[in-house]
Amino acid sequence: MEHFEFMETTISKVHQAYLEGSLTAVELIKFYLQRIEAYDKKGPAINSIICVNPNILEEAAAADAYLKEHHALQGPLHGIPVMLKDNFNTSDMPTTAGSIALKGWVPPENAFVVEKLKQAGALILAKTNLHEFAIWGETISSILGQTVNPYDLTRTPGGSSGGTGASIAANIGIIGMGTDTINSVRSPASANSLVGIRPTIGLVSRAGIIPYSLTQDTAGPICRTVEDAVRTLDVIVGYDEKDAETAWSVGQKRDSYIDHLQKDGMEGKRIGILKSLFGKEKCNASTNQVIETALQVFRDHGATLVEVENQIDQSYLNEEVSVHLDDFCHDLNSYLETLPPRWPVHSMKDILDKGLFHPFSEGNMRDAMTRQVGSPRYLEKMYNKIAVRREVMKIMADLHLDAMVYPHQQQLVCKIGSNQLQRNGVLCSSTGFPSICVPAGFAPSPEAPIGVPVGMEIIGRPWSEPVLIEIAYSFEQHSHFRKMPVSTPALED
């Protein structure tokens, strides 16, 4: 449609066009299918998509027919295309977790979150690449290979939800869904100039998601705007009897998160700058400069910034608090054991014995097999987690803080073939606290035409999503740091 701007569009703009009759869901889906054809396997070859929903045009036509018959939207996400990380169970498409060990596996039912999205009227456009079994942060898998960053084709898109991040950044789809065990929603958000929300553990069900560490796993949206991420969060939260952890969320959500999209939301807030999570090496200089510039947005719009000097250390959190690798074998096996008897693998050992993995994943899988849930070392980490949770809460109480901020990653997202280093997302994943990652700007780099995206995390107390949304939305509205990648421009009609 000549008068509808597809690029960087949002849920609200699409719904307005649907109701006005200037856009149909079929037209919107065809737009994204054209971009998949042009940019995912051709052109810059982002390589972010494992599987396109073969029924997507029929489902879009059904959404259009509903609107035509009822003169109303079917739900809060009516006709909105979703890029879904391929570790969410889908009953009508394969769910591989990026592994050839699960190639062709179609689960009997949808994940709880997928069902919630569909009930809200969303359209699952495609399943996206991830770091195999969500193990790490470079988004390379045995099912598809390496996804690349659309801002710098020599870099990774973060991970493990990098396929989701790269596709949403490249204007393929509107809603992105990822999972986060250590950094995996916020890392692709940071690396692709996007918004990523890691909710408080227990706010969103993990039932039907291939697990990595059920102590730390959660799901969350990755979108181009805070508003779209919040509209998605509003839909996917809720108690699920199949995930007992969600019982903690009952009574915590008292209104719509959309009500907290306030342009003056940072005014009067006290926000801590968590200095220990800023890098102090030469490789950290460009990231620090971007964040320091971004912090001025808070000062200019009514927030009070407080420097926080403490001993919270990223490497300590990874090594002495996070139990991601300790849980990995146990929790993945709990899923693989449910596969049909005919399936060739039912454990991590089977996958390794049969060689059904990407070489990049082997070290972490073999390490995980040496660890045991409930061991003295495991219990030591769980005790350390209690201490860190208490320390964060005490800092915020002593300094009367509403939130704290820091760079998601102390150095730029890594080059393809390298490992991610110095990511700070482990603070929230190991404690279960919520955070929102927002675009903070771009750092110069020779292979990045407009620079490499840098993301800033905003962390809060458990169940403080409303406060974090107010701060994140206000920051976004007063900064507008997001830019489209030049490698995936608008297509000519």
- Residues known to be catalytic: 85, 160, 184
CA dist 293 and 178 (Å) reads 28
* Residues whose CB is less than 8 angstroms from the CB of residue 233 and which lie 6 or more positions away in sequence, other chains included: 197, 199, 204, 220, 221, 257, 465
Contact 95, 84 (CB under 8 A): no
The answer for 458, left when phi > 0, alpha when psi is -120 to 50, beta otherwise, is beta
CA dist 234 and 253 (Å) reads 9
**Nearest one of 307, 36, 85, 35 to 189, comparing CA atoms:** 85
Q: Which residue has the tokens 């998605």?
A: 232
CA atoms within 13 A on the CB side of 263: 4
